[in-house]
Amino acid sequence: MSAPTSAWRVVEALSGRAADRVPFFLPVTVLGARLLGVSIREYLASPALMVRGQLAWREKLGHDLVTPFHSAAAEVTAFGGEVVYYDDGPPNAGQPPLELDADQLLRLEPPRPEDAPLLRRGLEATRGLAAAVGGEAIVLGAAVGPFSLPAMQLGLPGWLALLHERPDAAAHLARVNAVFCAAWANAQLAAGANAVLVFEPLASRELMEPARWRALGAPATRAAIAGVRGPVLLGFGSAPALGVAAEALELGAAALCAGAGDDLAALKACCRGRALLIGGLDSLPLASGGPDAAQAAVRRALAAAGRGGGFLLSESHGEIPWTTPDETLLAAADAVRRWGTYGAGGELRG
C-alpha cells in the first residue's frame, strides 16, 4: 500500500472518517516572506515567491494544506478599494471604496474578480501551487463572505448604519457580494484550488444581532455557497462559532471553523455526521506562549475533538501572527504527529 497523502488525509476527515492521523494546517500566509527573507510587500507582489514560501513552510512543518491567500483586503480592490501594507503583519483594507448612498448602492453590480490585478495575481499563485503539489496536498482558496465584506466596502460603522436605516440597500449589497463571492471562489477552483474557505465573522452572535444575520446574512451566504462549484469551508475569523453553528450547518458548507474560546467538544458534537470541524488553536497564545504551551494546546484540542475523525487541527483566525517563532510552530506540528495518530477504531494513540 502506498504511503498516505495529505490530500487523502483531509478527504477522509471531510468524510467524517479517521485516517492515519489528524490532518493539520498552520496558516503561515505572510510568514512565507519571513522564511524567504523578503518584505511582505515584495512577497505578496510575486506569485512565484508566494508559491516558494508556501512550499518551504510545508516542507518545514509537514502540514496537509497550502494556500495562495493574499489578504481579505485584496477582494476590496475589485470594488475600487486599496490595500495598506505593513512590515510585520498582513495587509489591511484602506479607505472604504463605496459611498454610504443607498440609491447608489441599489445600482451596484458585481464586478468580475479576474478584472482586479491583485486577484489575478492570486489565481496565478493558485495555479503555481496546484502544479507544484500535484494533487498530493490540498490547495485551499479563500473568499470573504457576502455579509462581512461590507465592513471593508463601507467601513463597519457604515455597514451597521445601512443595516439599520436602509435594509433594502443592505440586502442588495449582500446579494451583489454573494454573486461576487461565488465567482471569486469558482475562479480559484478553476485555477487548481481544491476547496475554498469563506470567512463570515459577522455571522457570530458576538458581533451581530442574530435576527439581522438570519434575515439578511444567512440567505446571502447560503446563495454564495450554493453558487460555488466545490467544497466550501465556513469560517468566522476567530469569532465564536458555537452559538451560530446549528444555523450555519444549514447553509451547505462542508466544514465549520471554531473560533477562539469555543467549546471544541460541543462543536464536534454539533458537526458530527454533517461537517468537518476545523480549529483548536488560538493565534495570540500561540504567538506568545512558546513551544511547550503550543504542544499543550495541541493536546487539549486533540483530546476535545480528535477522536473518531472529522477534525482538522488549525489556528482559529486563519493567519498565524508574524511574531510567532518558528520553534513554536515546529513544536505544534510535532505534537500532532506524536499525539494525533489514529488507531484502528478511530481512537487516538497519543
Cα–Cα distance list, 111 to 137, 160, 173, 183 (Å): 31, 23, 12, 9
Kind of pairing between the strands at 24-25 and 311-315? parallel
Please check whether residue 13 is in contact with residue 276, taking contact to mean a CB–CB distance below 8 angstroms: yes
Q: How confident is the model at residue 224 (pLDDT cuts 50, 70, 90)?
A: very high
232 pLDDT band (50/70/90 cuts)?
Answer: very high
CATH number of 6-339: 3.20.20.210
- pLDDT of 257 > 80? The answer is yes
Look at residue 89 and tell me whether its pLDDT is greater than 70: yes
According to DSSP, the residues that pair with 311 across neighbouring strands are: 277
Does the structure show a pLDDT above 70 at 138? yes
Grid coordinates given for 219: 440567505
- pLDDT for res 302: 97
C-beta atoms surrounding 60 within 10 Å: 15
Residue 50: pLDDT band (50, 70, 90) is very high
Count Cα neighbours of 41 within 13 Å in the Cβ-side half-sphere: 5
Q: What is the domain partition of the chain in residue ranges?
A: 6-339
- What pLDDT band is residue 260 in, cutting at 50, 70 and 90? confident
DSSP one-letter string for 69-138: ---THHHHGGGT--EE--SSS--EE-S-SS-S-HHHHTT--PPPGGGSHHHHHHHHHHHHHHHHHTTSSE
The set of cell numbers assigned to 340 is: 494525533
User: Is the pLDDT confidence value at 1 over 70?
Assistant: no
Per-residue pLDDT at 267: 96
Average pLDDT over residues 156-185: 97
pLDDT of residue 161: 97
User: What per-residue confidence (pLDDT) applies to 206?
Assistant: 87
Report whether pLDDT(121) > 70: yes
- pLDDT over 70, % of the chain: 99
Q: For residue 2, is pLDDT > 80?
A: no
Position 107 pLDDT exceeds 60: yes
Q: What is the pLDDT of residue 317?
A: 84
pLDDT-derived band at 79 (thresholds 50, 70, 90) equals very high
C-alpha cell at 83: 490595500
Has residue 311 got a pLDDT over 90?
yes
**pLDDT at residue number 159:** 97
Who's near 267: CB < 8 A, 6+ residues apart? 241, 242, 245, 256, 258, 277, 279, 305
238, pLDDT greater than 90 = no
Mean pLDDT taken over the chain: 96
Residue range 284-305, pLDDT digits in tens: 889 999 999 999 999 999 999 9
pLDDT of residue 346: 86
pLDDT for the residue 237:
87
Alpha carbon distance 278, 7 (integer Å): 15
pLDDT at 3 over 90: no
pLDDT value at residue 349: 84
Return the pLDDT at 305: 97
What number is the average pLDDT over the span 80-96? 96
